[in-house]
């Protein structure tokens, strides 16, 4: 290998290194963006989980209150089922539709 070939080979190698360096810089920039997005999403996820916990803690109390109100209406002699809602139960007979609604899990 003469000096010109050696110089050309080193020049090509240098160009390849510069291209590789540019690729590495682009990957670093992309990685930085992904890390920032991941951090923001983790924070948002944490806040949403906290909010969900608050909502779930409040929900059973409200549901229990509503269920008790419906039971009271039924005990007062009225239908609470979709088919006969608001109609008076004759002689306080049981209604299987109302029972299903009141005692479902």
Binding site members for Zn(2+): 79, 81, 95, 98
Phi-psi region of 77 (alpha: psi -120 to 50; beta: other; left: phi over 0): left
Give the helix, strand, coil percentages of the chain, each rounded to 5: 80, 0, 20
Distance (Å, rounded) from C-alpha 101 to C-alpha 68?
A: 12
Annotated binding-site positions? 79, 81, 95, 98
């Amino acid at each position: 290998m003469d000096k010109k070939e050696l110089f050309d080979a080193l020049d090509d190698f240098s160009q390849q290194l510069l291209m590789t360096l540019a690729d590495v810089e682009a990957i670093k920039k992309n990685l930085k963006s992904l890390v920032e997005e991941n951090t923001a999403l983790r924070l948002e996820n944490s806040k949403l989980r906290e909010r969900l916990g608050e909502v779930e803690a409040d929900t059973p109390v409200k549901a229990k209150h509503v269920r008790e109100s419906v039971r009271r209406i039924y005990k007062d002699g009225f239908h609470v089922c979709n088919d006969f809602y608001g109609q008076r139960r004759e002689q306080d007979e049981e209604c299987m539709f109302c029972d299903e609604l009141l005692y479902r899990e």
